[in-house]
């Protein structure tokens, strides 16, 4: 099979980009890598005002770029591919932007937010993060929020979220739900990776699991000792495909501006220390930098390496296309309605 042809013709969706939160210049890297749609994180554990400022910045920027397209519906991704544009999909990693006001779901949906992650490692109003020692499950507010997200056709994302809280959400949702950027705990045990029954529960809703390139979620080793290969990452894809089927696996690569090669080591360490002080990271789950991405896909512009790697691993062309983006496109169409 011709990896370059398949990569050029495929719809490629990277459903999580923290990289773009710091600097929109990296959009050029995604474009060079052939990405059809990328999902920048426009809200984290921050306030509604913070998220509003970030979204406003993006809307202003997108208005000035004819080569970019705000994604509000699945057909926008198809149109972007057809017209030589790249789609931009707004994603929250955490529910801080809603605080405890469910009406803000409608407000942010109107501004283009199309996927929302329930927690970010820690306990919040919704439930417990994956790094909490005790997981009490979805709160009453969390249950109401999942229902409101369903009503507004926003994808429910269970990444970074505790086991019971995710299982509660996956049993409650009436639309496909996802783990947008979560690797397999069966392949490599880490609190940020998910168990097999979590992946099965997401697939049972019609959703999927997106794998990520964060090295310490792929293989063991602290800092520069974690040097995963692309085949190490594809081992997580293989596991999920065998577990839940080819239709329920995608990419949520989660390139991050605080990691090499996007920042200097001193900057990466300072960012990591700040996140640890704030309680967003724990050293046990997020080792001290440096962190190294798989060398064949070290940056978004090298994503042809993912296509080549999947082919090398024995995936058929139709299945490669599903993993690269068609599975996400199906989920988006089912949740967004068009």
Which tens digit of pLDDT belongs to each residue from 203-238? 999 999 999 999 999 997 665 677 999 999 999 999
**What is the rounded average pLDDT of the residues 120-135?**
95
How far apart are the C-alpha atoms of 143 and 313, rounded to whole Å?
A: 40
Which stretches within 98-213 are classed as H helix? 103-110, 140-151, 163-172, 196-204
First to last CA, the chain: 32
Q: Residue 248 pLDDT more than 80?
A: yes
Q: What is the dihedral of CA 271, 274, 276, 277, to 10 degrees?
A: 180
What tokens appear for 130 in the block?
């994956």
Strands in the chain per DSSP E: 13-17, 37-43, 68-70, 86-88, 90-93, 113-117, 155-157, 177-178, 209-211, 249-251
State the pLDDT at residue 224.
Answer: 61
Q: What is the dihedral of CA 193, 197, 201, 202, to 10 degrees?
A: 20
Q: Which CATH architecture has domain 3-336?
A: Alpha-Beta Barrel (3.20)
Average pLDDT (22-43) is 96
Residue 119 has a pLDDT of: 97
Residue 249 pLDDT > 60: yes
Q: Are 260 and 214 in contact (CB under 8 A)?
A: no
Q: pLDDT for 280-326, tens place per residue?
A: 888 988 888 988 999 999 999 999 999 999 999 999 999 999 999 99
pLDDT digits (tens, 9 = 90+) for 172-195: 999 999 999 999 999 999 999 999
Match 């997580």 to its residue by tokens.
Answer: 236
Q: What angle do CA 324, 327, 330 make, to 5 degrees?
A: 135
Looking at per-residue pLDDT, the higher value among 272 and 89 belongs to 89
Taking the complete model, does pTM exceed 0.95, yes or no?
yes
Mean residue pLDDT of the chain comes to 95
Q: What is the pLDDT of residues 59-107, one digit of tens each?
A: 999 999 999 999 999 999 999 999 999 999 999 999 999 999 999 999 9
């Amino acid at each position: 099979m011709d990896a370059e042809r398949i990569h050029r013709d495929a719809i490629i969706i990277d459903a999580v980009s923290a990289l773009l939160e710091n600097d929109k210049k990296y959009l050029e890297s995604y474009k060079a890598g052939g990405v059809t749609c990328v999902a920048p994180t426009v809200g984290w554990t921050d306030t509604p005002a913070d998220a509003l400022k970030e979204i406003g910045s993006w809307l202003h920027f997108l208005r000035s770029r004819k080569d970019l397209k705000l994604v509000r519906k699945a057909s926008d991704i198809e149109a972007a591919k057809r017209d030589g544009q790249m789609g931009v999909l707004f994603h929250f990693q955490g529910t801080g932007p809603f605080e405890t006001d469910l009406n803000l779901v409608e407000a942010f949906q109107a501004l283009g937010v199309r996927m929302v992650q329930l927690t970010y490692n820690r306990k919040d109003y919704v439930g417990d993060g994956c790094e909490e020692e005790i997981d009490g499950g979805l709160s009453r507010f969390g249950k109401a929020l999942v229902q409101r997200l369903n009503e507004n056709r926003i994808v429910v994302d269970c990444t970074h979220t505790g086991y019971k809280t995710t299982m509660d959400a996956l049993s409650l949702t009436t639309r496909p739900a996802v783990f947008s950027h979560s690797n397999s705990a069966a392949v490599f045990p880490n609190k940020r990776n998910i168990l097999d029954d979590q992946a099965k529960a997401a697939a049972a809703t019609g959703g999927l699991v997106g794998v990520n390139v964060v090295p310490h979620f792929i293989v063991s080793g602290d800092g520069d000792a974690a040097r995963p290969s692309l085949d190490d990452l594809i081992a997580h894809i293989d596991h999920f495909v065998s577990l839940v089927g080819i239709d329920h696996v995608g990419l949520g690569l989660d390139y991050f501006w605080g990691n090499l090669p996007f920042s200097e080591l001193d900057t990466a360490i300072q960012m990591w220390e700040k996140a640890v002080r704030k309680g967003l990271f724990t050293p046990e789950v997020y080792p001290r930098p440096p962190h190294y991405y798989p060398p064949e896909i070290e940056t978004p512009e090298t994503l042809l390496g993912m296509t080549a790697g999947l082919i090398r691993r024995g995936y058929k062309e139709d299945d490669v296309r599903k993993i690269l983006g068609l599975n996400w496109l199906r989920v988006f169409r089912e949740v967004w309605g068009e």
